[in-house]
Amino acid sequence: MGKGGGCAPSKKQEEAVVTGNTTAAPSGPRETTVTSKETVDVADSTVVVEKPSDGSLKVFIVFYSMYGHVESLAKRMKKGVDGINGVEAVLYRVAETLSQEVLDKMHAPPKDESIPIITADELEKADGVLFGFPTRYGTMAAQMKAFFDSTGGLWKEQKLAGKPAGFFVSTGTQGGGQETTAWTAITQLAHHGMLFVPIGYTFGAGMFNMDEVKGGSPYGAGVYAGDGSRQASETELSLAEHQGKYMASIVKRMLASS
């Protein structure tokens, strides 16, 4: 697991979504102008959309990574988010639920302490969220589920309603849950009223190349870990970067002032 990650935006920034090897205008929801605070009545609830006071938009990349595979995608995804002008990525990891004794027996490397642990209340500050986690029998790891379980207070007041969110994953094998791990996680977003943003086939030709083993699906970026020794390939990392750019452009299109 590498050091760093940080939260500072990249100096190189773009305005559009990258589709494969070409550049295209974002294909998300239509652009809207948002003042400092806008209220939208939805049935008996009121969804409040706030624009950050400094004018920047924040995409939180919230992940759990035991052996570093998901973390490698998260850090490359940050580069993609930071590449969109006016949007900044912030890396967070969720709390570990296993004891250090158990982690040592599983030969898990140390966590990157430069990446802070997120609490449920902080999630409200995000304009968009990308959640990353390894699979456990085709669904998210217990550590990420524990984090979602801690968001009951946000659910009660519908603080996350209307926020766009996406997923990225890691699995041990090609049939190990690249799609089902993301698919089954959608229930968490549905109960919060969050908006699931898949990448579809916006990565272009990179989604159709059959010449190499690679993770990822229309649901989001992915990496194959194998027995743990395999690291993310450049194709897998590029897809993660693309997902970061894509999500950032969607968030900007939805929330940034014209």
Q: How many helices (H) and strands (E) does the chain have?
A: 6, 11
Q: What is 213-239 written as a DSSP string?
A: ----BTTB-EEE-TTTTPPPPHHHHHH
The superfamily CATH assigns to domain 57-256 is Flavodoxin domain (3.40.50.360)
What's residue 209's pLDDT? 85
The answer to whether the beta carbons of residues 59 and 39 sit under 8 Å apart is no
Closest CA to 60 of 133, 124, 140, 12: 124
The answer to whether the beta carbons of residues 175 and 226 sit under 8 Å apart is no
The answer to whether the beta carbons of residues 49 and 57 sit under 8 Å apart is no
Query: What type of residue is 96?
Result: E
CB atoms within 10 A of CB 130: 31
3 state DSSP class of 56 = coil
For 91, the enclosing helix (H) or strand (E) is: strand 87-93
Ramachandran angles phi, psi of 144, nearest 5°:
-70, -35
Query: Which pair of structure tokens corresponds to residue 101?
Result: 């004794």
What's residue 229's pLDDT? 86
Query: What type of residue is 177?
Result: G
What's residue 257's pLDDT? 52
What's residue 102's pLDDT? 96
The answer to whether the beta carbons of residues 247 and 156 sit under 8 Å apart is no
3 state DSSP class of 71 = helix
What's residue 197's pLDDT? 98
**Domain segments of the chain: what residues?**
57-256
What's residue 96's pLDDT? 97
**What is each CA distance from 216 to 60, 80, 168, in whole angstroms?**
20, 16, 8
What's residue 24's pLDDT? 42
What's residue 70's pLDDT? 97
Residue stretches of the chain with pLDDT short of 70: 1-55, 256-258
Max CA-CA distance within the chain?
Answer: 53
